Amino acid sequence: MFQPERVIFEKEALQYPLGQKLYQSFLTESKVELYEAAGNRINTHIPGAGLFDKYRAGKQTLVVGVKKSLKFQTCKPSAHYQLPIVSGCMGQCEYCYLNTQLGDKPFVKVHVNIEEILEQAMKYTRERVPNITIFEGSATSDPVPVENYTNALSKCITYFGEQELTRFRFVSKYTDVDSLLKLKHNGHTEIRFSINTERIIQNYEHHTPKAVHRIEAAAKVARSGYPVGFLIAPVFLYENWKEEYTDLISYLSEQFSKNLCSTLTFEVISHRYTLRAKDRIFEVFPETKLPMEEKDRVFQYGQFGYGKYKYTKDQLKEMEQFFTEVIKRKIPESKILYII
């Protein structure tokens, strides 16, 4: 659960019941700094002289606001659209693309107009009838740590559970899932967990739970009938990587061997980076040991007009063959969505 040092309320948020509820709740917290701000004055309340300090203070900041633009972004290959209920994350993963995507906004922001967001989701759904429309709830966030404040996931899961032509999915590194276990989801929400080897988590995924605890949380939601998936990302190719990823998948297999009938899905993504991201990472984590040497990678232009440094074609082929073989051997009933 996210426990912020400061909470900043956009003035518009106080016009909504959830905004008022949160304001009254934090008003009684003596250890929490409380501010009201115009929508474009958030950063003035976050201390720090430079990006290094602003990042760390921002990660301890919760902003309560209103999602004003209800034009949803597309979200391939995960879903048809992003569902913008939260942005930002309390975790401090060194490689995270949010370091550049939300570089000057490292805070966690929740939106209090959830009903309006869901109404907009149904408008998009009606445009695609009779096809099913899938919404992704974690494209720019990890929504689980703030669920205790907003109940946004609970509202979305229950709402989409009642709709025939919508599906909801989100991914998390966190384990506070108990409030979701008894909801009437009707199998319309897939909960995925991002996992990695303990070496990667300890070195690069600061302020996040261990892989074993994430997998245990996944088993909980599977026992509650949710479709469950795993995002193995980013995959790093280091000495003994095959042994350590095999151990990870073996433990996962053990946890899901006891009468858990859910067919697990897997999405496997290799590490890649842009030069812009690399520069930002070194600003925020000057002592980072992330493997980002251009001489060890190949450059490839992406669909958005900028390029990334990726592993070589032969390395990616080896990675694909490895994960395909291990996952199918350890968890033969699973489904691999993609390995990239």
pLDDT at residue number 303: 62
pLDDT at residue number 258: 63
pLDDT at residue number 289: 96
Q: Which domains does the chain have, with CATH numbers?
A: 196-271+311-340 (3.80.30.30)
pLDDT at residue number 29: 86
Geometric angle at alpha carbon 55, from 50 and 58, rounded to 5°: 115
CB atoms closer than 10 angstroms to residue 138: 24
Geometric angle at alpha carbon 112, from 106 and 118, rounded to 5°: 110
* 278-291 confidence digits (pLDDT tens): 999 999 999 999 99
Q: Which residues of the chain have pLDDT under 70?
A: 39, 103, 258-262, 302-305
Helix axes 241-255, 211-223, angle to 10 degrees: 30
pLDDT at residue number 39: 66
pLDDT at residue number 154: 98
Nearest to residue 248, comparing CAs of 232, 259, 237, 236? Answer: 232
CB-facing half-sphere around the CA of 170: CA atoms within 13 A: 27
pLDDT at residue number 30: 81
| Radius of gyration of the CA atoms of the chain, in A | 20
pTM: 0.93
